[in-house]
Amino acid sequence: MRRLFAKTEVNECDGDLSPTLLGFPVVCAPLANRIAKTQLPIVPYNETFNRMVRRIVFASLCGAGFTALLSLTLHLSYVNLLASLLLVPGGLVQAVLRGADSPVAILSANFALYSLLIFVTASSFSGLQRRAESRRVSLWLAFPVGVLVCLACIPTLDPLWPSGMTQLAGREAQLHEILPVGIDLEHARGVLRSQGIQFWEQVQKSDSVILTRPEGDISAASGDSVVSAQIPTNAGHFLCGYRIDVVLVFNNERRLKERHIHRSRICP
């Protein structure tokens, strides 16, 4: 009798419960169980692919950390030259591909270059390959590399990022404002002296082009006065500094007729 009451028959049916012989309920198998019986083909585990992914992760971490460390050491006087040389290859690749020199592009190009180099090296030597494929090694590298990358993104710590560019633009705008076209020569001299700017002045003996620039040449006629100055600034970008070049051309009436106030990039 106990066996009769304890027995429940399991069927695959559409309803939840269905009566069966002797009045005992038949428990229908859930739909999920029925679907599970029709399994997809099992995909074999590819250990070779998994090891390659680990080598890629290892190479990416090493490339990112090495590139960030190089950019941070540009501040150090004894190793900045070596760091600059090691950053040049990525900068050249980036310049050829895009023709710009933004710090993000330089860092990205060097990251890709050194990651590829480390990946090839790790794949060529069995001892290094085993370490590169170790998940524990990648986990150990993740935190210090993350710290270096974060520090390299701070402009005050990484000289690869431009510095003082806002002040440079403000200085240029100020000079344009205080040296407008039409100002007389004596007034311009006083303005330059009040700003502490050392300048040079000469009178043209013949007509000539004194400055060639993309937007147009600046010419001076015979008898015109030319005032020029080079103003140093604290702005810089990747081993290069900036200065403001000033060229003022005054006509025979000693009025400013043409001017050139523009930054120039000075690199070693």
- Overall size of the chain counted in residues: 268
Number of domains in the chain: 3
Q: Is residue 239 in some structural domain? A: yes
**Mean confidence (pLDDT) of the chain:** 81
- pLDDT single digits (tens) 142-175: 999 999 999 998 888 888 888 888 999 999 999 9
Half-sphere exposure of 245 (CA within 13 A, CB side): 11
**What does the pLDDT average to over 221-250?**
90
Q: Is residue 160 in some structural domain? A: no
From residue 135, alpha-carbon distances to 53, 57, 121, 122, 149 in Å are 11, 9, 18, 14, 21
Q: Is residue 159 in some structural domain? A: no
Instruction: Inform me whether the pLDDT recorded for 41 exceeds 60.
Output: no
203: containing domain: 165-266
Write down the pTM of the prediction.
Answer: 0.61
Q: Is residue 229 in some structural domain? A: yes
Same domain (yes/no): 123, 145: yes
Q: Which residues pair with 179 in a beta bridge?
A: none
Q: Is residue 60 in some structural domain? A: yes
Same domain (yes/no): 242, 262: yes
Tokens of 119: 């990946």
Instruction: Inform me whether the pLDDT recorded for 39 exceeds 90.
Output: no
Same domain (yes/no): 101, 81: yes
Cα–Cα dist 12/64, whole Å:
58
**Quick one: pLDDT band at residue 101, thresholds 50, 70, 90?**
low
Task: Tell me what percent of the residues of the chain surpass a pLDDT of 90.
Answer: 38
Look at residue 120 in the predicted model and tell me its pLDDT.
92
Same domain (yes/no): 184, 240: yes
